[in-house]
């Protein structure tokens, strides 16, 4: 039997609201699945959530609720760490060091910053340097693999880039992490505008499906999802972005191929197809909602406290290695 240590995975979620179907299919489902083969660290990235306007009075409830959703969908604190970013100061400390290696030209190309500022968010320095903090999250824990949705692909490239810059300048400290992005549903789109991604911060409730929505809400949202006027079910993200999105969602929820679904639903009209998609989503999310309700009185804070303590312990040794490499000696 091999005694090779398991590879490390790291990923994060912002406590910015009720997690949605996109978070679940694009990332969280893989977080739960990968736990048995990897040494997994999952983080509720509250410092990232501060890069856009937020209400301090709501942050604690959002952190706890996000943790509860993650536990409900199968993150197992006996096997994986689950804590909040602000519990471990190494994230912010490493972000500072990495920022000294990050060319502004690289950050100027980030589409998320452009999208968010165009959508009306203030263009503050924290939002601009969001990818640097994300790189620090991943590199602090020496992650090899990062399960994320497609929207984080560009930030992962930046993480790899800054890790290489650091290693070239100061010696081999960081493994170069790989993105782990699912083949279907890597970018679940809004139900009201299928050219934009589903996101927690979307102002229209009808645009997304929360992981905890009641079955009837899920059915209504999918029934009213924006599609097109040619009632043939076929996969074409340019001509039929709404139907293509629903096909991806159904493929991910049923583990069937898109071709297989098209063969079954092509000529039956949009109504029956949408009903089938809704039932697939309801079935996929039902166990998560049941587990979430069962956890309502559980002590989520104790999980965060204990994982945070372990993550802090790990990070101290890792950060010492970084400080030594950059020439900062401890006394």
| Residue of 6, 114, 197, 324 marked active site | 197
Element (H, E) at 114: helix 111-118
Beta-carbon contacts of residue 168 (< 8 Å; ≥ 6 apart): none
Q: Quick one: tokens of 138?
A: 């991943």
Taking the complex as a whole, how short is the minimal distance between the CB of residue 224 and ligand AQP, in angstroms?
Answer: 18
Distance CA 288, CA 267 (A): 33
- Nearer of residues 68 and 187 to ligand AQP, judged by Cβ: 187
- Nearer of residues 101 and 131 to ligand AQP, judged by Cβ: 131
Catalytic annotation present for 310: no
Taking the complex as a whole, how short is the minimal distance between the CB of residue 231 and ligand AQP, in angstroms?
Answer: 26
- Which residue's CB comes closest to ligand AQP? 26
- Nearer of residues 130 and 166 to ligand AQP, judged by Cβ: 130
Binding site for ligand AQP (CB under 6 A): 11, 13-14, 16, 22-23, 26-27, 148-149, 151-152, 186-188, 197-201
Distance CA 21, CA 208 (A): 7
Distance CA 299, CA 277 (A): 35
Distance CA 52, CA 307 (A): 26
- Nearer of residues 147 and 308 to ligand AQP, judged by Cβ: 147
| Residue of 200, 240, 274, 289 marked active site | 200
Beta-carbon contacts of residue 32 (< 8 Å; ≥ 6 apart): 73, 74, 75
The DSSP string of 134-201 is HHHHHHHTT-SEEE--GGGHHHHHHHHHHHHHHHHHH-S-S---EEE--SSSSSPBPSS-TTSB--TT
Distance CA 221, CA 217 (A): 6
Catalytic annotation present for 329: no
Taking the complex as a whole, how short is the minimal distance between the CB of residue 197 and ligand AQP, in angstroms?
Answer: 4
- Nearer of residues 107 and 326 to ligand AQP, judged by Cβ: 107
DSSP state of 25: I
| Residue of 116, 240, 274, 289 marked active site | 116
Catalytic annotation present for 200: yes
- Give the three-state DSSP class for 81: strand
Catalytic residues: 116, 197, 200
């Amino acid at each position: 039997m091999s005694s090779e240590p398991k590879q490390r995975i790291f990923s994060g979620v912002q406590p910015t609201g009720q997690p949605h179907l996109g978070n679940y299919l694009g990332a969280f489902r893989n977080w739960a699945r990968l736990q048995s083969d990897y040494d997994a660290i999952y983080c509720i990235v509250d410092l990232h959530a501060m890069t856009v306007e937020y209400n301090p009075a709501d942050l604690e409830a959002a952190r706890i609720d996000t943790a509860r959703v993650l536990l409900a969908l199968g993150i197992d604190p006996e096997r994986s760490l689950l804590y909040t970013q602000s519990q471990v100061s190494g994230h912010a400390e490493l972000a500072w060091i990495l920022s000294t290696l990050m060319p502004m030209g690289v950050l100027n190309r980030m589409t998320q910053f452009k999208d968010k500022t165009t959508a009306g968010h203030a263009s503050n320095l924290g939002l601009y340097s969001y990818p640097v903090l994300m790189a620090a999250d991943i590199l602090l824990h020496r992650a090899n693999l990062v399960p994320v949705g497609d929207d984080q692909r560009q930030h992962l490239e930046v993480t790899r880039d800054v890790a290489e810059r650091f290693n070239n300048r100061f010696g081999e400290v960081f493994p170069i992490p790989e993105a782990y992005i699912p083949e279907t549903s890597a970018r679940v789109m809004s139900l009201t505008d299928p050219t934009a991604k589903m996101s927690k911060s979307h102002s229209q409730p009808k645009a997304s499906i929360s992981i905890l929505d009641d079955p009837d809400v899920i059915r209504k949202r999918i029934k009213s999802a924006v599609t097109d006027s040619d009632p043939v079910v076929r996969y074409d993200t340019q001509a039929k972005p709404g139907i293509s999105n629903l096909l991806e969602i159904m493929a991910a929820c049923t583990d069937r191929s898109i071709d297989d679904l098209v063969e079954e639903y092509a000529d039956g009209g949009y109504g029956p197809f949408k009903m089938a998609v809704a039932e697939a989503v309801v079935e996929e999310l039902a166990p998560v909602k049941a587990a979430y309700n069962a956890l309502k009185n559980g002590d989520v804070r104790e999980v965060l406290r204990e994982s945070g303590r372990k993550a802090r312990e790990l990070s101290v040794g890792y950060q010492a290695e970084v400080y030594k490499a950059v020439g900062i000696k401890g006394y």
